[in-house]
Chain A
Amino acid sequence: MRVRLPQMIQDPTLLNRDVDRLVEDWTMLDEDHYLDGPITPRVAVVDLDPNTEKLEAGAVYLLPTGGQTLSRYDVDKNDVASSQFIQVSVFATVYRTMYMFEQQKTLGRKISWAFNGPQLLVVPRAGWLANAYYERRSHSLQFFSFMAGDTLVHTSLSRDIVAHETAHALIDGINPDLYDALDPQSLALHEGVADLTAMLMAFSSRRLRESILKNTQGSIETSTDFSSIGEQFGTAIDPTGKAGWLRNLLNEDVLNPDGDPADEPEEHELSQVISGVLYRFMCVLHDHFKKDVATRFGQTEFSASGRALYVAARQFERMVLRGLDYLPPGEVTFADFGRAILAADQASYDDETWRVWLRTAFAQRGIVKDERDLEVRTNFENEAVAKADLQGLVGSDWVAYTFAEANRELLGIPGDAQFEVLPRVVVDGRFESPAATMDRVTGDRNEAAGEPTPQAADGDGTGFAEPDRGGVPFRELLFKVRWSHVEDNPPDLGAGQRRVQTGTTLVIDWNAKRIRSLLGPLSLEDRSGARDTMLRRLVESGAIQVTETDPAARTKAAATGIDAVVTDGILRVRNTARLLHIVKELDE
């Protein structure tokens, strides 16, 4: 049973627009079942009254009646301040973000959460702060509310913020080590991809897309509506822009490839480098497909801009988000992410055009010294892989461990290292070339900006809710091994040594039984200075207190939720990603 959900596509309290234009219906694919809340087996909206912790009644689920085919929730979409609207809207945005990652042409599977449980809890009115965050410990997304002057702002009604925080939960499910990383580039990657996810969510809204493209003559480079993440929210919090939410993806930020990693900026500022280069990639894709669509349909580029944006966004998702799967476990850098994006694409598509562009752009931004650092090997034979029992690798920890032990050299596992094989993941995806995507949307005329936009048959015409169509099916196995790397630690920071995580991701083509990709970190040891800097900043700011007590045994957690524990003279830091979600209290 599919369900129609109203979703806020822009915060009415922060934009001077009619409410009617700010709400959009979205038609979800089937989940196993729906309950009042909304609640499904994977997501539950838990609406706790911020003042009393009393549980508010959830929006009531209604089966279709009178010839309707879609179920719905009992909500008045003209009353956007009602608790029922907030519950349903945040639920829709969370799911819409999940589907963006999970569609067959992207990650091709349902994402398992990083915490031990099947259900992400969403608290839409978590309290009175200018804040919102994903918290692994409580299995939750928490969206707070605050006063901007005399206006009550619910962060759960901000499409940007909900998509951003949901992305953190999804990235944590895909690559949980980023949550504990000490390399600021790892945390910046978490943040940058979350920002790009918010951008993709903006593209997914037909109304917003059309409205903005009309105002920008079909360009995504001349308006900050797509490229500024949380702009309205940030302005409401702090007009000076110091609150940390104002990030413009349309930037030319660079790294110094010859600089000392210890001198790199903190993770929020750093994130703009990776999101900046990838937003520029999105712009280039859009320009390319505008010309393509215009030629194909005999339109002006302006008229072609809406459909082109749809095609470009699909191309972007399948390249960039699939890179998350190919990343090695543990501490990683932007260069590692670049290599993962390129490997995922190169393993599936022959056309070098966009990979050449990315390699050049990554080098120009100083992410790597040389484009050749981003060259990756894909689709190659290996005897051990050819002989491997893939079903056994998936289903049996013992088989997986035996395989890894026998192939330490292949996987880059140091001879003396104790390693861990992470849960294996099977991806059932579909390859689809940009040309095929173009063909698929040929008849979907409501994608073009500037044209009349009748409702599509499924009621939304966004392209995200539709079942995956087209493309060539494939199956791949993600096999990841992780081990500890012990390195020197500044002695004044709690211990003489510290432990960080690293590893290798082996991607196996299930049908051909060959290696699609084999990636470890490019420069783990060279990055220790950056980790020193990060650790020093955490200690000196009071964000962590190094202890010799297991956090589980403490009567209270560290205020920031970041743990730093010394065991046998070696420091281990965890939960550093908590830094990404802490915005100052308004009234401290």
Chain B
Amino acid sequence: MSELVVRVYDVRFGDAVLVTIPDTANGQPVDRTILFDFGNALGTEGGQDEVLEPVIDDITARLGGKPLDLYVMTHEHLDHVQGLFHSAQVFNKTIQVQQAWLTGSADPKYYDNHPDAKKQKLAALALYDQAAVRLSALSSLSPFANILLANNDTKTTKKCVDFLRTQLTDPANVHYVDRTTELSTLQPASSAKITLWAPEENTADYYGRFKPIAKGLAIDDTFDFDDLDGLQRENAELPPPPAGVDAGAFYNLLDVRHGASATLLSIDQASNNTSVVMLIEWQGWKLLFAGDAEKRSWKTIDKLGLVEPVHFLKVSHHGSHTGMPPEDVLEKLLPLPAPGASKPRAAVSTFRDTYPGVPDEDTLIELAKRVDLTSTRDLAAGELCIEIPFSSDGPP
């Protein structure tokens, strides 16, 4: 049997990870393929879409005319979802897909069954609108705010997600998954076992901070997504200082508070935490693909007792500090190796200086103590992806 290969593509600021799993069908060796996300972040230096075409070409070539066995959309952020839509629209290039797994809360019916999560999601969306208006009033928008706006713009993202759920494959083969989803009939490779560590079925867990905001915005059980347009948009102008307050001090206060950017960051983190976190076990190897899960999700995963040492980690959230598991969880996942012992592998898809602190250099240094870490930003010119093989002999 040949090797399982993980390929982490350089898509600048985004994710595209292809896993090829040796398997057998009717006694014959076959390759099973899983693609985790495909996209990059528009609106910033990291979002140059010409890098997507060579990636779709490479994936197509590797499929060798066969359909992809599984496409996984970890979560609904532009840097993870817009690649296939863009390839179809701009390059007129598509791939065939046997089945697609989309994070559970992307199900159009999801919020009908989860009223608490719905209220909190509505609050987050309302805040996004207000923050967008507020930020658009600023004379210069930082790249940070720009990418947060682009990544969390549900109107843009929705087109991409709709493409994934309707155009990739027969809609009957699109599954909205969470940790509790029964996967026994959906496993893409008989030689491997796939389990999900996240997300939780009820995403209210990740949107908890929006609970009081929903209350403050009077979002109740009768409120629906269509009603968002009816919410009064806040005045785009900066408010004048109240009488008796020094204008310089007042605007300094607004500037230091970074309220709108902080709001966007909260929305961004909540959505990241809805990421599909998938463990692939093959020939004794344990490979973990963490999407953009942030600390909140890691804590929940740990609380459920799911964390165990792995041989490979697709580093979460492009190497940010908030994407790292808390220290105690990290020790369970990637224990500090004894001196001289071989380390597990890890790969991070990242692009320098797009988000402040992403990647976080200290986080990468800490990871490097525990794993043999490879980053897409270290690829030589002309190299499309990091390629990490795992032998059928299993781990040493």
Residues of A within 8 A of B (CB): 35-37, 39-41, 44, 46, 48, 50-55, 58, 117-119, 121, 123, 126-128, 135, 137-140, 142, 145-147, 152, 542, 545, 556, 559, 586-588
Choice from A35, A40, A53 contacting B254 with Cβ under 8 Å: A53
- Inter-subunit contact B357/A559 (CB<8 Å): yes
Closest to A45 in B: B242
Q: Which residues in B have their C-beta under 8 angstroms from that of A46?
A: 242, 245, 250, 253
Shortest distance between the CB of B104 and any CB in chain A (Å)? 20
4 more A-B residue pairs beyond the given contacts A52-B234, A127-B257, with a C-beta to C-beta distance below 8 A: A40-B244, A48-B257, A55-B239, A588-B295
A497-B356 Cα distance, complex, nearest whole Å: 30
Distance to closest chain A CB from B179 (angstroms):
19
CB <8 Å contact, B253 and A152 = no
Tell me which residues across on chain B come within 8 A of A556, comparing CB atoms: 356
From B134, B235, B243, B263, contact of A35 by CB (8 A): B243
Residue of B nearest to A561 (CB): B256
Q: Which residues of B in the span 238-256 have a Cβ within 8 Å of any Cβ on A?
A: 239-240, 242-246, 249-250, 252-254, 256
Partner of B262, one of A48, A55, A123, A127: A127
Shortest beta-carbon distance, B139 to chain A, in Å? 16
Q: Decide if the interface of chain B is mainly helix, strand, loop or mixed.
A: helix
Name the CB-closest residue of B to A118.
B246
Stretch at the interface among B59-67, B208-216, B339-347, B375-383: B208-216
Q: How far is the CA of A51 from the CA of B217 in the complex (A)?
A: 9
Chain A residues closer than 8 Å to B254, beta-carbon distance: 48, 53
Interface residues of B (CB under 8 A from A): 127, 130, 134, 208-209, 211-213, 215-217, 234-235, 239-240, 242-246, 249-250, 252-254, 256-257, 259-260, 262-263, 294-296, 321-322, 356-357, 362
Contact B134 A53 (CB under 8 A): yes
Cross-chain contact A117 with B249 (CB below 8 angstroms): yes
CB <8 Å contact, B212 and A146: yes
Cβ contacts A to B, 10 pairs, < 8 Å: A35-B244, A44-B244, A44-B245, A50-B213, A53-B260, A121-B253, A138-B252, A152-B212, A559-B357, A588-B296
Cβ B209 vs Cβ A587 within 8 A? yes
The reply to whether A51 and B216 form a contact with Cβ atoms under 8 Å apart is yes
B296–chain A nearest beta-carbon distance, Å: 6
Q: Are B245 and A587 in contact (CB under 8 A)?
A: no
Instruction: Report yes or no: B357 in contact with A119, Cβ–Cβ below 8 A.
Output: no
Contact B253 A127 (CB under 8 A): no
Q: Are A53 and B259 in contact (CB under 8 A)?
A: yes
In the complex, which residues of chain B have a beta carbon less than 8 angstroms from the beta carbon of A35?
242-244
Residues of chain A within 8 A of B235, CB atoms compared: 54
Partner of A117, one of B246, B263, B357: B246
Residues of B within 8 A of A51 (CB): 127, 130, 213, 216-217, 263
Residue of B nearest to A135 (CB): B256
Nearest 6 A-B pairs (CB), nearest first?
A: A138-B256, A39-B244, A35-B244, A55-B239, A587-B209, A53-B259
Q: What residues of chain B lie closer than 8 Å to A55, measured between beta carbons?
A: 239-240, 242
Which residues from B are CB-within-8-Å of A145? 212
Closest chain A residue, CB of each to CB of B144: A556
